[in-house]
Structure 1
Amino acid sequence: MRASPAPASRERSLPLAACVLVVTLLLGVFAPVAGSAAEAAEPDLALPVTVLASDFEDGTPQGWTARGGETLAVDGDAARTGAYGLAVTDRSAGWEGPALRVDHILERGVAYTVSLWVRLADGAATDTARLSLERRVDGTTSYHTLGSVTVGPDAWVELTGTHTPTVATEYSALYIETAAGTPSFRIDDVLVTRIPVPPIQRDIPALRDALPEFPIGAAVSPADIHGERAELLARHHSSLTPGNALKWDATQPAEGVFRFTDADPILDFAAERGMAVRGHTLVWHEQTPPWVFTDADGEPMTPTPENKTLLLERLETHIREVVGRYGDRIGTWDVVNEVIDENRPDGMRRSPWYEITGLDYIRTAFRVAHEVAPDARLVINDYNTNVPAKREALYELVALLLEEGVPVHGVGHQTHINIEWPSVAEARAMLERFIPLGVDQEITELDVSVYTAADQVFPVVPAERLEAQARQYRRMFDLFRSYSEHIASVTVWGLADDDTWLDGGPLDRKDAPLLFDERLRAKAAYWAIVDPGWEGGIGPSGGCLVDHLVTDRWPGGFRAEITVLNTGSRTIDGWALGWTMGRGERVDHLWNGTLAHRGPRVTVGDASWNAVIPPRASVSLGYLGSRSGASGNGGPAEPTFFTLDDRACLLLAPEA
């Protein structure tokens, strides 16, 4: 948000020369691209920085220490380059290896790459070397594998990994271990590199303002609430879903041991930014620790009355602890997740939950969640609900639960789709089917893969795939808007293409399923959603640049000036400028225009004498606004979405 100008400069308006200079630069940024790699041609806004290097050339271990009883020695025979490397011998366990404490050099919310070279001692059998991180938070130690590689005695192999610290730690250390045996090995040329995130685009419309029909959310990881990623998240979204931080393995890894190390900061961030939270998920057949399905003797559960009672007791304890911790801070919960298997005669997935308790685990989960959070919306969530057989199985289950009085308030459609599937008709049928039940519907995990077959791999995603992706997003959001009275929210399953669950797999392929690319830049898919006039390409279609500046404020009111620059090649003859006011705000008096509509969505038409705007020319208008319930001189909300003749405009970037 732009800082308020000092009284002496509050009459400042945007000079035409400055507008032309700004738009000249912007036109270069949003020029049509020939391929998906075109954006890479933009100059890097930040360069990687090496924060630690260990080459052992001073003849010392340079801070590396043994984790157990192994021996570390700086040795000329262990060198890959230069005169020295680090030899690791006398190992008696796979976890033994060199460790280096790094909590003093790593910053939260910053991504780091770690690179080192490893080679086994002569005569050793091939093994897997792992780069790992030991972390201690609030007295609890955890271990995380950052990368692994197959290594032998005949050649040096590079071992790499990435890490983004997200919480304050009492102790963090990198270490190298082996997966199978205890061979001696050598390491050399260790680099820890900081990867700065370039500034986000602050001159583009906000998703949350361009989509007023429903809250727009994103699934997040702990890294997304720091730095530029946090700004992207808060600027564009009105809600968030912790992707993994509230699942069972994260919140109760051992019986009776609850941890909220990752979840609490995300909830605090949402509260600070005024964002709603969707809780995901209380019951799922995956990411549930094995102990949950062990009997009183520690053996795997079988379907007995005793085990059913024990499992339901564990479920109730878990829900009361997790849901109770956050109370009304979480307004919606995915209570049960992926319980349908349309290939079964009864349509139910044969998970341990179902095998041991039947439908009672679903009934119990909704009942207990409702008791603990009576005002929360409780959702049953599943994927492929556009497939008729799955849709029908889910419909029958929800209808049964409602008939029994189970408090199911909503159906969640995950909507993991691709550029060709499903069709609009299939997606419409998905929404139509559940309307008779009277429950809310939510799009909970939306992403659009660029792949249409399991054997496809693109080293660089072709431009035509990204264009097709944008058109699929456009079709889906047009549909969602038309059903907005039935859709309570839409959540995209991730913030940007650099962090998506669709990466990897058997072919280790890179997908690009989201609205922002790996550099947090808006993609064609983004413009297809926010710009009513979008017809293709990366960038707005409107040919306009808008500066909105609050020039004065007083208790309950403010004055604002708007400058609109025609950045297109055609003369505009007659115009209508639209934007959304902040909550409780309204336009009371307008000059240099005609107020065509009052309320949160404001439309201003030309004043006849300023109807014509030639290319590279601008018009200025202004208004007096008021804010209901305002008691001080706090500033009004800065609009982040303007349209000119129903086409999206760029915004003059806020001052730093």
Structure 2
Amino acid sequence: MRALRTRRHLTLGAALVALAALVTAVPVATSTAQAAAPVVVLTSTFDDGTSQGWRPRADETVTASTAAAHTGTHGLAVTGRTRSWEGPARDLLDIVEPGVRYSLSVRVRLAPGESPAQVRLSVERGAGDAVAYDQVVGNTDVTAGGWVELRGSYTLAQDADRLSAYVETASGTAALHIDDFVLSYQPTKPVQTDIPALKDVLADDFPIGAAIGAPEIIGSHAVLLRRHFDSVTPGNALKWDATQPTEGQFRFTDADTQVGFGRDNGLAVRGHTLVWHQQTPAWVFTDASGAPMTATPANKALVLERIEDHIRTVMGRYKDDIGVWDVANEVIDENQADGMRRSRWFELTGLDYLRTAFRVAREVDPDAKLFINDYNTNVPAKRDKLYALVAQLRAEGVPIDGVGHQMHVNIQWPSLAETEAMLQKFVPLGVEQQITEMDVSIYTDSSQSFPSPPADRIRTQALRYRDFFDLYRRYADELTSVTVWGLADDNTWLDSFPVARKDAPLLFDIELQAKPAYWGIVDPTRIDPTASPTVSPTVSPTVSPTVSPTVSPTVSPTPTPTGGQTACRAAYTVTNQWPGGFQGTVRVTNTTPQALSGWTLRWSFPNGQRITQLWNGSHQQTGAAVEVHNTSWNGTLAADASAEVGFLAEWTGVNGSPATISLNGMSCTLR
């Protein structure tokens, strides 16, 4: 593998050959065992009084200091920062091997006297003149009053001749202290060859697919993928921000690699996605002068033209390789009377963005199957709105071939009956149906976090997979594909959504071994139902809500407290941020002595931020002003109890925090 670095070229085929020896026949494990201890390849404690290879990214100063120690005698003090991206960096090129998933951890705090800031951990990767910045841990609240651990994972899956980990702030130039950096990896076991291939077990029912990124198509991950799955869905490489980040400048490197992997290995490829309210560059919604668009006929025409140009270019490139496309993704908001999400697409064009997208897609590839895809379609209100939309558009002649059900679920929700009703609902339309993004979280709310997956939850998850796939098999005449949203638990989006914590939602574990969830599909008798499951440990609190179906509130708010009482305490947190978008939470605590039988939160964004999706509440936004109401299931807020809402939003330029947050009209103390 060192030779790859000398040649400055990561050859995916060579990586596959080099790791082919990992495919062996091994005993079948039907329960979750303790994983092997991580292998630590680098630590930085600074206790020798040096910077231990850490350097400044620009003109700031990094110095080992006793005042910056988390443990031991020294830490690293970072001073003299003049730009937010400046901070300590550590070269990793001679340490990190391609295709290996590494864990990175570092303790961070601000220097005494600094105001709170958001800090993140990233990897800078360069190859020739190209530079990429891969976020490992998103924006995390840090103060001078205590240490915070930033922990995340990273796989080098592209060519690199420069590679370094670094710490920076989202904004500002606060002085930093860091300590106890650890870089490690989890050894993987050989890919099991004496267990049935999923695709063979399900061959008479429907094809089985997996979402992929660059790490899934090299090494032992690629071997596992090829053994068990019929199809692949590039999780991000085909989205608008990945393929056309700047108008007219298309970028297909990652998409070509991932689509090519499917083609070259005989795997079908699902295209995901052409039109979505997230991961769409801001330029798409700016007018010819560069100003944000308003709803005018000229702007509508320009947006529709951009949709057409984008679809013709992207679909045209992969016409011979991709036979199914998620043309439109997540367009429904069941809280709106007409059922439509108030995305920029809808605000500027009404339903015409959907009409245009599907029409152009059909023109580009008449043989491709064209899908509309959404989440929480097992919620009655949502599936009814989606059904009405699809029925209307098909009646108009819009070429929608199928409905995609994402099925991001957990070990308790939804019920099997709700899921069957979801499938039954669309049968009269005569469209294909597919399960497009399935995973089963071990968490049932966002206040939970386990250091390792509890055995009882892993067993419950296996039973859930068993029951869902039994249902899918009964509807095999309606379902033309089932896709799980990832290959193995070592790489899942749920590790950072809705909060940062380790989840285990997939069929194979972090060592790429079959889990009880796999046996729930293949042979439920091997889930080991007679075992006595361990009890889940007490969970560690986190700060963000689980995505749940939103419902219009049905209870009347309790009157605003009087008598000089402090009504509430609130915390606004940006949990993740990327160019043009971010994820945030608002947590509010009722500090009055009486329970509230309903609640309303209000705040104003200072920099033009705009919410595109919110969960655990229903919201409306007028300009900068946001108003959030409780749902029917979280309207009661006891004394000293808390409620949290989470959201996705767009931002440009500066992403500042609200100055005030109110609960039922009373200003909250911010923390």
Residue in structure 1 matched with residue 194 of structure 2 by the alignment: 203
Query: How far apart are residue 275 of structure 1 and its match?
Result: 0.7
Residues 154-553 of structure 1: pairs in structure 2 closer than 5 A: 159-187=150-178, 190-212=181-203, 213-453=205-445, 455=447, 461-505=453-497, 508-531=500-523, 536-537=528-529
Q: String of CA shifts for 1:604-652, please: whole Å, max 9, x gaps.
A: xxxxxxxxxxxxxxxxxxxxxxxxxxxxxxxxxxxxxxxxxxxxxxxxx
Residue in structure 1 matched with residue 596 of structure 2 by the alignment: none
CA contact (8 A) 1:380 1:408 kept: yes
Residue in structure 1 matched with residue 124 of structure 2 by the alignment: 134
> Is 1:69 matched with 2:59?
yes
**Relative to 1, partners in 2 of residues 1:366 and 1:152: Cα closer, same or farther, differing over 3 Å?**
closer
The answer for unaligned runs of 5 or more in structure 2 is: 1-23, 532-671
CA contact (8 A) 1:217 1:241 kept: yes
Q: String of CA shifts for 1:546-601, please: whole Å, max 9, x gaps.
A: xxxxxxxxxxxxxxxxxxxxxxxxxxxxxxxxxxxxxxxxxxxxxxxxxxxxxxxx
Largest Rg, 1 or 2:
1
Residue in structure 2 matched with residue 574 of structure 1 by the alignment: none
CA contact (8 A) 1:75 1:85 kept: yes
Query: How far apart are residue 189 of structure 1 and its match?
Result: 5.3
Give the 3-state SS of the residue equivalent to 1:196 in structure 2.
coil
Of the candidates 36, 39, 63, which is equivalent to residue 33 of structure 2?
39
**Relative to 1, partners in 2 of residues 1:466 and 1:49: Cα closer, same or farther, differing over 3 Å?**
closer
TM-score by length of 2: 0.68
Query: How far apart are residue 310 of structure 1 and its match?
Result: 0.9
Letter in 2 for 1:93: R
Q: Matches of 2:87 and 2:527 in 1, distance apart?
A: 57
Query: How far apart are residue 353 of structure 1 and its match?
Result: 0.8
Query: How far apart are residue 285 of structure 1 and its match?
Result: 1.2
Query: How far apart are residue 334 of structure 1 and its match?
Result: 0.3
Letter in 2 for 1:39: A
Q: Matches of 2:282 and 2:425 in 1, distance apart?
A: 36
CA contact (8 A) 2:519 2:527 kept: no
Q: Matches of 2:145 and 2:420 in 1, distance apart?
A: 59
CA contact (8 A) 2:40 2:184 kept: yes
Q: Matches of 1:465 and 1:252 in 2, distance apart?
A: 41
> Is 1:98 matched with 2:88?
yes
Residue in structure 1 matched with residue 569 of structure 2 by the alignment: none
Q: String of CA shifts for 1:391-440, please: whole Å, max 9, x gaps.
A: 23222222222222222111112122333444444333332332333322
Q: Which moved more, 1:290-299 or 1:127-136?
A: 127-136
Query: How far apart are residue 461 of structure 1 and its match?
Result: 4.6
CA contact (8 A) 1:134 1:143 kept: yes
Q: String of CA shifts for 1:59-114, please: whole Å, max 9, x gaps.
A: 77555443223244567776777887655433322222333333343222212233
Give the 3-state SS of the residue equivalent to 2:319 in structure 1.
helix
Q: Matches of 2:44 and 2:415 in 1, distance apart?
A: 55
Letter in 1 for 2:124: E
Q: Matches of 2:106 and 2:416 in 1, distance apart?
A: 49
Query: How far apart are residue 333 of structure 1 and its match?
Result: 0.5
**Relative to 1, partners in 2 of residues 1:298 and 1:245: Cα closer, same or farther, differing over 3 Å?**
same
Query: How far apart are residue 280 of structure 1 and its match?
Result: 0.7
CA contact (8 A) 2:269 2:324 kept: yes
Letter in 1 for 2:166: Y
Q: Matches of 1:422 and 1:80 in 2, distance apart?
A: 44
Q: Which moved more, 1:360-369 or 1:433-442?
A: 433-442
CA contact (8 A) 1:440 1:486 kept: yes
Give the 3-state SS of the residue equivalent to 1:328 in structure 2.
coil
**Relative to 1, partners in 2 of residues 1:461 and 1:178: Cα closer, same or farther, differing over 3 Å?**
closer
Query: How far apart are residue 141 of structure 1 and its match?
Result: 2.8
Letter in 1 for 2:122: S
Letter in 2 for 1:221: G
Q: Matches of 1:379 and 1:56 in 2, distance apart?
A: 54
**Relative to 1, partners in 2 of residues 1:393 and 1:131: Cα closer, same or farther, differing over 3 Å?**
closer
Query: How far apart are residue 254 of structure 1 and its match?
Result: 2.3
Aligned residues: 506
Letter in 1 for 2:33: E
CA contact (8 A) 2:462 2:527 kept: no
Letter in 2 for 1:303: A
Q: Matches of 2:118 and 2:446 in 1, distance apart?
A: 28
The answer for unaligned runs of 5 or more in structure 1 is: 1-21, 540-656
Query: How far apart are residue 39 of structure 1 and its match?
Result: 1.1
TM-score by length of 1: 0.69
**Relative to 1, partners in 2 of residues 1:49 and 1:227: Cα closer, same or farther, differing over 3 Å?**
farther
Give the 3-state SS of the residue equivalent to 2:134 in structure 1.
strand
Query: How far apart are residue 54 of structure 1 and its match?
Result: 5.0
Letter in 2 for 1:326: Y
Q: Which moved more, 1:256-265 or 1:361-370?
A: 256-265
CA contact (8 A) 1:328 1:375 kept: no
Identity %: 57
Q: Matches of 1:358 and 1:521 in 2, distance apart?
A: 47
CA contact (8 A) 2:187 2:511 kept: no
Q: CA RMSD in A?
A: 3.3
Q: Matches of 1:87 and 1:464 in 2, distance apart?
A: 44
Letter in 2 for 1:343: N
**Relative to 1, partners in 2 of residues 1:485 and 1:243: Cα closer, same or farther, differing over 3 Å?**
same
Residues 47-62 of structure 1: pairs in structure 2 closer than 5 A: 47-50=38-41, 52-53=42-43
Q: Matches of 1:461 and 1:186 in 2, distance apart?
A: 32
Give the 3-state SS of the residue equivalent to 1:444 in structure 2.
strand
**Relative to 1, partners in 2 of residues 1:428 and 1:136: Cα closer, same or farther, differing over 3 Å?**
same
CA contact (8 A) 1:267 1:277 kept: yes
Give the 3-state SS of the residue equivalent to 2:313 in structure 1.
helix
